[in-house]
Amino acid sequence: MIELWNVSKTYEAGNKALRNVSMTIEDGEFVFIIGRSGSGKSTLLKMLLKEVEPTSGKIVVNDMNLSKMPRGFIPKYRRKLGMVFQDFRLLKDRNVYENVAFAQRVIGASTRSIRESVPAMLKMVGLSSKYKFFPQQLSGGEQQRVAIARALINRPEILLADEPTGNLDGHNSMEIMKLLNEVNKLGTTVIVVTHSQEIVDRMKKRVIVMDRGTIISDEKKGGYTYEN
């Protein structure tokens, strides 16, 4: 469960990114966070990743108070999260298999475990036949699938996606959302920051709307009610 209690964030330049935000996201939920640029969506994700510290307030993830988390524990905490980016952030000099294996390798997983789990994960995202391809040989949708496979390979409890369909066409966007929905059905909490009205309206999931650092709307099975 993710809990935010009166969380505020003011950057050094004086820019107030979040103002007294409070919310709760239950385990296994699928949540869209929408809002115009600068509304605080990305800051919220960065706080959950513990990349950015709140100026005030409390964030609790799976009973762990992030403000009181020792520095040495941060890498272990991050292994419970998966992150997907708009620009995929794949390693261009490594093939599909190596990109996914990379996520396991850098946390010290054994070669045996990597050999078992990477092919299974590639099968899940539908890229088994393209495991030797390099990112530049794949379409945008396929690259995002690789990124999702990399985010999921360490079996995270929470998947954070920052505009995962921002660089994709309509068809590929829906395919990625279907994949995220399947991941959610397996029990992973999924939080998606997006600008896509079509996706939000079709998925019929919880929608949190943010504006100028505050939550202005939070609806179960909501739609894209925000005017861009």
Partner 1 sequence: MRISTFWYCLKQGVNNICRNILFSLASIATVSACIFLFCLFFSIVINVQYVIKNTESTVGITVFFDDGLDANKIKEIGNKIKARDDVKEVTFTSAEDAWAEAKQEYFGDMQDLAEGFEEDNPLANSASYTIFLNDLVDQDQVVDWLKGIEGVRKVNYSKTAAEGMNSLNKVIGVLSMLIIGVLLAVAIFLISNTISVAAAFRKNENQIMKLIGATNYMIRAPFVVEGIIIGLVGACIPLISIYFLYRSAVGYVVTKFSILSGLFQFLPVEAIFPYMAATALTLGVGIGFFVSFFTIRKHLKV
Query: Interface residues with partner 1 (CB under 8 A)?
Result: 49, 51, 74-79, 81, 83, 89, 91, 102-103, 105-108, 110-111, 150, 154
Beta strands in the chain, from DSSP E residues, in sequence order? 2-10, 16-25, 30-34, 56-61, 64-65, 81-84, 158-162, 189-193, 206-211, 214-219
Of the pair 24, 111, the CB lying nearest partner 1 is at: 111
Of the pair 51, 169, the CB lying nearest partner 1 is at: 51
How is 157-190 classified by DSSP, letter by letter?
SEEEEESTTTTS-HHHHHHHHHHHHHHHHTT-EE
Cβ of residue 196: shortest distance to partner 1, in angstroms? 23
Cβ of residue 151: shortest distance to partner 1, in angstroms? 8
Cβ of residue 111: shortest distance to partner 1, in angstroms? 5
Of the pair 145, 206, the CB lying nearest partner 1 is at: 145
Of the pair 19, 78, the CB lying nearest partner 1 is at: 78
Six-digit token string for 105: 């390798």
CB 217 within 8 A of CB 209: yes
CB 131 within 8 A of CB 101: no
Cβ of residue 50: shortest distance to partner 1, in angstroms? 10
